[in-house]
């Protein structure tokens, strides 16, 4: 009679051959059964930051658009009320008393007497000018400089600006002296250009604008050299003056 061992050494087969798990459970089985499934969490901070940035840019763009709209409306109202026009300038008279250039030292001495007509065409705007610098050029060569004091330019008014433009002992480069001598011998006369630079502000009742720079460039003027003590009168009939407004932004002028 043989002895039986209970339980049997062979594991019981369940469901067609799968062996029952060992008992008690191992640490690996317990760890795998209790460990939760990893699920990535949404990045709430990143979303909140993106929302803040989008909101900021939205309000920034909206504010800029509103400001542009207000500026456009204000500009339209200002134009309809005042109908602004920039002043005009004309060289009405220019006389050359002398223009001497020494051959040895290329030193220039000259005297010009100039009259510039400034017209304010506005009915409701007065202009206030700072002192104005006047430069006379022949080509790109400076042949005379002067300054006139500041003045008030009333509404619908024409003001005559008179000045004596001098050059005393102004030394030229050798190439400048050669070009100037050649122009002085021309039968058509010496070509001249007149530049005026100043700052101006507009007044409309109690309203005043900030000062802005303006440059007036007058071209198409010719003069012959005087033969005696009598000054030579320049031809200004073909002269034309252009007015450019110059805004200064930080270190740059445009």
Tens of pLDDT, residues 92-133:
999 999 999 988 888 999 999 999 999 999 998 899 999 999
Higher pLDDT, 147 or 246: 147
Q: Among 242, 214, 244, 239, which residue's Cα sits nearest to residue 93?
A: 239
Q: What is the per-residue pLDDT for 59?
A: 82
Structure tokens at 215: 């440059």
> What is each CA distance from 120 to 5, 159, 213, in whole angstroms?
128, 8, 17
Contact 239, 90 (CB under 8 A): yes
Which pairs from 182-185 meet CB under 8 Å and 24+ separation?
183/138, 183/139, 184/99, 184/101, 184/225
Cis peptide before 24 (omega within 30 of 0): yes
Q: What is the per-residue pLDDT for 52?
A: 74
> What is each CA distance from 115 to 93, 95, 147, 161, in whole angstroms?
5, 9, 13, 6
Q: What is the per-residue pLDDT for 252?
A: 46
Q: Residue 233, class by beta-carbon neighbours within 10 Å (0-12 exposed, 13-18 middle, 19+ buried)?
A: middle
Stated length of the chain: 254
Q: What is the per-residue pLDDT for 66?
A: 86
Residue 253 banded pLDDT, cuts 50, 70, 90: very low
Higher pLDDT, 108 or 73: 108
Residue 26 banded pLDDT, cuts 50, 70, 90: low
Alpha-carbon gap, residue 136 to 197, rounded angstroms: 12
Q: Residue 220, class by beta-carbon neighbours within 10 Å (0-12 exposed, 13-18 middle, 19+ buried)?
A: middle
Helix (H, G, I), strand (E, B) or coil at 182: helix
* Rg for the chain, CA atoms, rounded: 44
Alpha-carbon gap, residue 49 to 149, rounded angstroms: 60
């Amino acid at each position: 009679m043989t002895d039986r061992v209970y339980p049997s050494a062979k594991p019981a087969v369940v469901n067609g051959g799968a062996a029952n798990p060992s008992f008690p459970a191992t640490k690996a089985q317990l760890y795998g059964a209790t460990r939760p499934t990893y699920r990535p969490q949404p990045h709430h901070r990143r979303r909140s930051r993106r929302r803040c940035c989008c909101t900021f840019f939205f309000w920034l763009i909206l504010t800029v658009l509103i400001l542009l709209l207000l500026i456009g409306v204000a500009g339209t109202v200002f134009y309809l009320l005042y109908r602004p026009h920039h002043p005009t300038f004309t060289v009405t008279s220019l006389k050359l008393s002398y223009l001497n250039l020494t051959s040895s030292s290329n030193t220039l001495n000259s005297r010009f007497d100039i009259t510039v007509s400034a017209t304010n065409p506005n009915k409701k705007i007065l202009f206030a000018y700072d002192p104005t610098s006047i430069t006379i050029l022949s080509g790109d060569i400076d042949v005379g400089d002067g300054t006139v004091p500041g003045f008030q330019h009333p509404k619908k008014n024409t003001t005559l600006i008179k000045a004596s433009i001098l050059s005393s002992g102004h030394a030229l480069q050798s190439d400048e002296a050669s070009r100037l001598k050649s122009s002085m011998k021309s039968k058509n006369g010496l070509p001249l250009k007149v530049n005026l630079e100043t700052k101006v502000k507009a007044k409309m009742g109690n309203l005043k604008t900030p000062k802005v720079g303006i440059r007036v460039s007058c071209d198409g003027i010719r003069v012959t050299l005087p033969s005696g003590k009598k000054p030579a009168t320049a031809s200004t009939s073909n002269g034309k003056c252009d007015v450019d407004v110059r805004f200064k932004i930080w270190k740059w002028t445009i």
